Amino acid sequence: MTAVMGTPMKRKEDPKLLTGEGKFVDDIQVPGQLWMGMVRSTMAHANIKGIDTSAAAQMPGVHSVYTGSELADMDLWIAPLPCVWPVTPDMLNPPHYPVAAETAHHVGDIVAVVLADSRYEAADAAEQVVVDYEVLPVVASLADAVAGEKLAHQDLGTNQAYHWALEPAPEAVEAAFASAVHTVKGEFVQQRLIPAAMEPRGVLAVPSPHGGELTIYSSTQVPHILKVMFAATTGIPEQKIRVIAPAVGGGFGAKLNVNPDELLAVTLANRLGRAVRWTETRSEAAFSTHQGRGQHQTIEIAADAEGKIQAVRVHLNADMGAYMMLITPGVPVLGSFLYTGVYNVPAFGFTCDGYFTNLTPTDAYRGAGRPEASYAIERAMDMLAAEVGVGPEEIRRRNYLAGGEAFEDLETASTLVFDSGHYGPNLDAALEMAGYSDLLAQQQARRDAGDKKELGIGLCTYVEICGLAPSRALAGLNYGAGGWEAGTVRLLPTGKVEVVSGSTPHGQGHETSWSQIVADKLGIDPNDVTVLHSDTAISPLGLDTYGSRSLSVGGVAIAMACDKVIDKAKQIAAHQLEANLDDLTFEGGSFSVKGSPDKALAIQEIAFGAFTAHNLPDGMEPNLNEQVIFDPPNFAFPFGTHVAVVEVDTDTGGTTLLDYIAVDDCGNQVNPMIVEGQIHGGIVQGVAQALYEVAEYDADGNCKNPSFLDYLVPSPTELPNIKTGFTTTPSTSNPLGVKGAGEAGTIGSAAAVINAVCNALKPYGVNDIEMPATPMRVWQAINEGSQG
């Protein structure tokens, strides 16, 4: 059996998804189901004076209509929607119920719900509900919230939800800035983004009126978390709840929440004894699913004469939106540790103020706090390079942790211990792949020729925190759960293998990668392995998928479970072969006795023997069925260097991404094909933030571009092919030496692209461009000089 770990095995998931056989939530039909139609507030901030549901109730196919106050009287909930990351003890967290009863706090806040026989009838009836609003002042932007003249929640008396600080050495930071030769200051806007997974969110709750069980199908990344949160918010006994995430069409963080629609479906199905369902429409998603980013960043670097960093100081204002969702307040906090980037920073300070606005809540979106951090430090490093008068690659080299040499378990100024890194060769590889010196020559040649199309080259050397997470580290951050993951490996009587995965896929290919790990460990064919997941009845223990954690926590748990299986099988082999344990070797799926190669047992034979239990060592439990719950000792810190090459048409301001080179290091790889795919997609989401996407709001708090007509998710024509390369620096945080790849691309690419645009516009005195770098913004910057 040749190794399958590290090979680009084709995905087991694909045939079902390619043929329409894969079932997403909206594909599952249940007899007697009722469709929910949401009546959403059209006002960003308003008291609800009255709701007339009479016309809606008379519409064809309508079963019932409930207003927020009617639902409040039905005792459906024992607690508001959960926020599990109260980052400070005094954080403000106004109660958030699935349907607003008295006051709507953002456009899209649900104010009433219709139940009807079909999706069309539910939508029709929802339109007939008449709501009388008393309009209140609207906090329509983060700037409005900070100004504080209007309040997003009137009863709070302030818009500021919390102040969080990471200031391990404030005096050292002050002293470094006082004595610095060079200082730079960047102020950046992380615009709001609509996550836009291609499958809209949906839920189907199926009750068992007599048995008392509830089965909930949800388009979610987090079925296990939903199960416990449904119990905690509805009072339905946890053991009666089963959550299934069927095929899930992308998540990107937007499907890790506990949402009002899900709680409505669960409680109404439970109360009415009928299946209740809902599927988001795309234009509704800007209001019904949380958004990403929404931060204003101020970053300052103090450096000595050579440009060596002496201190980094950061302040954020972060837009929570109207309510605290599951981990809303923690997103900027998660990023805080990465504002020192890959650099040796002797002194570091970070503060963050979270503010409420009357806009759609924010929460995790691919990278969740870490792309923002990477963007700020990497933009500021380019500013420092300009200040010192060296190239962007040189300023980075001068500041790399461990001087760019290999390191393990290195403590940084942001208090974290980086597992491993080796930044110098990674940068070298990226510059070589990009043909960096040729690119600089081309840039100069264009300038010499007076070309109106400027070439820009942008670098980013990022690091990310993934493998969430050591449970004790999460406790230190006041996060409300642990960070372990569960994996079970079970040999069936016929020698085939069932793996139960706690982490749940939504496009990452867990079935394939986990099969490769198990095949390699047990010396069997990966096609003899089936991976079960995403159903709390089949996989009762798990903490799901976010934060690039699946492989480095969940995959590792499965590898460790294989080791336990092998240990037990070895004892059985020793017993049955009448050999000493120490004389047994396990290779190619078979135990044999050293020196007696004819005395051997295949692991499949041992599995059958463990099943019959006819001849096991005294006291041994039958079967080979082992579970490991892995709580990692540390995070994993993947890193990489990205190079973006752009062409900026200085007549029109239009920017074209000509080339993109990414050299990533995510430690050891299980399936390089899947890793590369993750990197590609991640990069494009960062490119989209840099050049195209922004959720735009007017002064009344209306999202102006909720549909795909004007929210610019990139199409194939905006993008080049992406050149990927890898270096390999194994993690010390887990026995597989793996890191994570799901968010890396996004964490590196926005900074690389904007650095490239600014690099192109250097002759025009442009120091900064706000994202997205639209033709209008670029043209204005060219024609008005510096934005920075």
CB distance 511 to 505 below 8 Å = yes
**Contact residue for other proteins among 215, 508, 625, 669 (CB under 8 A):** 508
Q: List, edge to edge, every strand of the sheet that includes 34-40.
A: 62-67, 110-116, 34-40, 276-279, 202-207, 214-218, 241-244
The count of chain residues that interact with other proteins, using the rule CB under 8 A, is 59
Q: Which of 296, 274, 277, 220 is nearest to 252 (CA)?
A: 220
**Contact residue for other proteins among 145, 161, 184, 196 (CB under 8 A):** 196
Shortest Cβ distance from residue 657 to other proteins (Å)? 11
Does residue 32 touch other proteins according to CB under 8 A? no
Paired tokens of 394: 């040189």
| DSSP state at residue 648 | E
Paired tokens of 332: 């900027």
Q: Which is nearer to other proteins, 483 or 740 (CB)?
A: 740
Does residue 200 touch other proteins according to CB under 8 A? yes
Count of Cβ atoms closer than 10 Å to residue 273 Cβ: 12
Does residue 391 touch other proteins according to CB under 8 A? no
Region 261-280 residues binding other proteins, contact defined as CB under 8 A: none
Site pattern 242..261 for other proteins (x: CB under 8 A): -----xxxx-x---------
CB distance 749 to 686 below 8 Å = yes
Shortest Cβ distance from residue 61 to other proteins (Å)? 11
**Contact residue for other proteins among 27, 75, 102, 394 (CB under 8 A):** 27
Q: Which stretch binds other proteins (CB under 8 A): 84-92, 333-341, 474-482, 505-513?
A: 505-513
The partner residues of 103 in beta bridges, in order of sequence, read 47
Shortest Cβ distance from residue 744 to other proteins (Å)? 13
Does residue 2 touch other proteins according to CB under 8 A? no
Shortest Cβ distance from residue 407 to other proteins (Å)? 31
CB distance 33 to 258 below 8 Å = no
Alpha helices in 490-639 (DSSP H): 510-522, 556-577, 603-612
Region 509-538 residues binding other proteins, contact defined as CB under 8 A: 509
Q: Which stretch binds other proteins (CB under 8 A): 50-58, 614-622, 671-679, 727-735?
A: 671-679
Could you give the CA distance from residue 52 to residue 487 in angstroms, rounded to a whole number? Answer: 52
CB distance 112 to 129 below 8 Å = yes
Could you give the CA distance from residue 156 to residue 158 in angstroms, rounded to a whole number? Answer: 5
Shortest Cβ distance from residue 707 to other proteins (Å)? 5
Does residue 282 touch other proteins according to CB under 8 A? yes
Q: Which is nearer to other proteins, 2 or 715 (CB)?
A: 715
Does residue 673 touch other proteins according to CB under 8 A? yes
**Contact residue for other proteins among 506, 521, 568, 570 (CB under 8 A):** 506
Residue type, 417: V
Q: Which is nearer to other proteins, 34 or 180 (CB)?
A: 34
Does residue 25 touch other proteins according to CB under 8 A? no
CB distance 23 to 17 below 8 Å = no
The partner residues of 115 in beta bridges, in order of sequence, read 36, 64
Does residue 680 touch other proteins according to CB under 8 A? yes
Site pattern 688..727 for other proteins (x: CB under 8 A): -------------------xxx---x-xxx-x-xx-----
Does residue 31 touch other proteins according to CB under 8 A? no
Longest pairwise C-alpha distance within the chain = 87
Pairing label, strands 241-244, 214-218:
parallel
Q: Which is nearer to other proteins, 234 or 291 (CB)?
A: 291
What's the angle, vertex CA 441, arms to CA 438 and CA 445, rounded to 5?
135
Residue type, 184: V
CB distance 276 to 36 below 8 Å = yes
What does the binding site for other proteins look like in residue numbers (CB under 8 A)?
8, 10-11, 13-24, 26-27, 29, 119-120, 196-200, 247-250, 252, 281-283, 506-509, 673-674, 676-678, 680-685, 707-709, 713, 715-717, 719, 721-722, 745
